[in-house]
Amino acid sequence: HTVTRAGCLCANPWAIAGSEVFHGTCGNPDSDPGGAWCIIEEGSCFGTDSAGTNWDYCGPEAPRETASGDTCALPFTSDGLTFHDCTIMADSAYWCLTASGAREYCDFGGDGDDGAPPSPSPPCS
């Protein structure tokens, strides 16, 4: 499974009218300028509330930095899941793996703040 920006699992399978079928991964079947996204599995979000939305983007809009100034190696795999952004899974703060494989906390504001990433966009209509 792939994990989205908000920490949700991509559904397996999912598709939109006229598109190929995706199996727990991200895609961009409608050429969304925001990038790859997926339909999310209900109740699958780690430490976030996905109420009111049934989809989420998969990667950050820009390279993600860590609190130490390193760069997250996105996407990365941990415990059999593929992450396209920082995750709060199995921790109390958002983290990622760097190119060296080190686990570091993410910096979402450029000021050492390891708060939550931006909220997901409104649901598809």
Give residue-wise pLDDT tens across range 26-46. Answer: 999 999 988 889 999 888 876
How does pLDDT run across 59-83, given as a tens digit for each residue? 877 788 999 999 999 989 998 888 8
In the predicted model, what is the mean pLDDT of residues 91-108? 91
- Nearest of 79, 67, 72 to residue 9 by alpha carbon: 79
Say how many Å lie between the first and final Cα of the chain, rounded: 24
| pTM above threshold 0.75 | no
On the question of pLDDT at 120 being above 50, the answer is: no
**Per-residue pLDDT at 125:** 34
pLDDT of 101 higher than 50: yes
Give residues with Cβ within 8 angstroms of 61, minimum separation 6.
34, 35
Rounded CA-CA distance 118/24 in Å is 22
> What pLDDT score was predicted for residue 1?
79
HSE on the CB side for 87, CA within 13 Å? 26
Q: What backbone phi and psi angles, to 5 degrees, belong to 44?
A: -105, 5
pLDDT for 67 equals 93
- The larger pLDDT score, comparing residue 31 to residue 112, is at 31
Q: Do the beta carbons of residue 38 and residue 55 sit within 8 Å? A: yes
